[in-house]
Amino acid sequence: PAAVPSICGMPLKYVSLVTLAVQNALLTIIMHYSRVSTAPSRTYSAAAAVLMNELLKGFISLVIAFVRLDRQEHTPSAPKTTLSISGVTIFKTCHPRNLMSKFRRLGREVFSPDCWKLSIPSILYVIQNNLQYVAASNLDAATFQVSYQMKILTTAAFSVLLLRRKLSFTKWFALLLLAVGVGIVQIQSGAVKITSAASTDVHVMQPLKGFLAVAAACFTSGLAGVYFEMVLKNSPADLWVRNVQLSLFSLLPALVPIIAANASSPVEAAAVASQGCFLTNLFRNFGPWAWATVLIQVFGGLVTALVIKYSDNIMKGFATSLSIVISFLASVALFDFRITFAFTVGSLTVLLATWLYNQPDSSNGKGWKWSRPC
Ligand code: C5P
């Protein structure tokens, strides 16, 4: 049997799981901070961040897919170029004359006739990633994190609709509990003002706007996730090749809000024209926190892929519920987030629902069954 991949002796399955939990919590906190800590007039473009996320994720996935081609090639006699320092192999690749054929092969895989299937989840993910910024700007980190758990509900609904999966009574009950928990958390959410560095310019959070954004993001998350799973499980294509396809199809929808913003804002357009450089303007106000948000999001996309590959969606659910606790505690420490009774009860209800939802079904095999990792 194939060896289970591990890092420093720990199975990659668990490493990716814990990493996803920490990544989820970090993203929630840093994205929120990056949006509300500066005056609205000096904040960065969320659309540019989403575009950068897709570019970086696509590039990294392309490199991984390229490296993995070697493993899939059954040509042990292929000549290799090896770079070694003091006997330690640093870099090992095909002979230069084989590189071109590798590029061509990767190109054929990426632009395979069925690559268009990824266009649907990629558009949905771009919408979701943009909505995440709206939600993070208008809800406190912990409320956003808890509300975002509704994606379990939408994932279940789309799995039943599209994948014809069956849910046990326990799982339906857990879903109901989840909706109740999210509702309770919303009760305590009121308008909060965060004073920015510029005294005249304040960031005012609009909880209703944030909640609508998070609800829509949950809808796209469920649909995109189930659709991606359908594509992944119904073809033998490599996960990283699929990720490259996902990023490629994301580029166009990611550019739409950037172009639309320029077209709808003559002042912006004039500024772009006067300063001459489109990229400089696009990444205006992109400070360290904005870059940190993008990098954590890129990392999250890659870890999500690993969790799907080496673990499964049940584990992904656990990772997300773990991240609630982490971001909740961090919100208390960092943002002076006040623990209300409603928030505590709502969060505990969400956690209980997530735990219940992730309980294995009875062994009669009639209940919900998550697919095996690909
Ligand atoms: O919250 P959810 O699990 O739906 O978030 C998925 C996130 O992971 C999205 O930001 C999406 O762009 C990213 N993703 C990815 N590659 C995949 C699947 C999801 O980058 N194969």
CA-125 nearest atom, ligand 1: 12
CA-239 nearest atom, ligand 1: 21
CA distance 69 to 309: 17
CA-129 nearest atom, ligand 1: 10
Tell me the CA distances in angstroms from 86 to 83, 89, 90, 147, one per residue in order: 10, 8, 10, 53
Residue-wise pLDDT for 59-68, tens only, equals 999 999 998 8
Residues making up the chain, counted from first to last: 374
What pLDDT, on a 0 to 100 scale, did the predictor assign at position 276? 57
Measure 46 CA to ligand 1 centroid, in angstroms. 17
What pLDDT, on a 0 to 100 scale, did the predictor assign at position 86? 65
Which phi and psi (to 5°) does residue 82 adopt? -120, 130
Tell me the CA distances in angstroms from 277 to 131, 202, 282, 310, one per residue in order: 27, 29, 9, 43
Give the closest residue (by CA) to ligand 1 atom 2: 221
Site residues for ligand 1, CB cut-off 6 Å: 57, 125, 129, 151, 221, 225, 228, 243, 246, 300-301, 304-305
Give the closest residue (by CA) to ligand 1 atom 4: 221
DSSP β-bridge partners for residue 83: 91
Residue-wise pLDDT for 155-191, tens only, equals 888 888 887 878 889 988 988 888 888 878 766 654 4
Give the closest residue (by CA) to ligand 1 atom 5: 221
Measure 217 CA to ligand 1 centroid, in angstroms. 11
What pLDDT, on a 0 to 100 scale, did the predictor assign at position 69? 82
CA-305 nearest atom, ligand 1: 21
Measure 106 CA to ligand 1 centroid, in angstroms. 23
Measure 365 CA to ligand 1 centroid, in angstroms. 29
Give the closest residue (by CA) to ligand 1 atom 1: 221
Q: How far is CA 257 from the centre of its chain?
A: 19
Please give the structure tokens belonging to residue 247: 């990023």
CA-250 nearest atom, ligand 1: 12
- State the DSSP string of 82-114: EEEETTEEEEEEE-HHHHHHHHHHHHHHHT-TT
Please give the structure tokens belonging to residue 115: 């690559």
Give the closest residue (by CA) to ligand 1 atom 15: 301
What pLDDT, on a 0 to 100 scale, did the predictor assign at position 15? 85
Q: Are 146 and 154 in contact (CB under 8 A)?
A: no
Low-confidence stretches of the chain (pLDDT < 70) are 1-4, 70-97, 186-203, 263-276, 308-309, 311-315, 317-318, 362-374
What pLDDT, on a 0 to 100 scale, did the predictor assign at position 38? 81
What pLDDT, on a 0 to 100 scale, did the predictor assign at position 368? 43
Among 353, 331, 317, CA closest to 28: 331
The best mutation among 304, 315, 316 to test binding of ligand 1, ranked by most ligand atoms within 8 Å of the C-beta, falls on 304
Q: How many helices (H) and strands (E) does the chain have?
A: 14, 6
CA distance 335 to 172: 35
What pLDDT, on a 0 to 100 scale, did the predictor assign at position 51? 95
DSSP β-bridge partners for residue 88: 85
- Neighbouring CB atoms inside 10 A of 177's CB total 18
The best mutation among 125, 148, 219, 311 to test binding of ligand 1, ranked by most ligand atoms within 8 Å of the C-beta, falls on 125
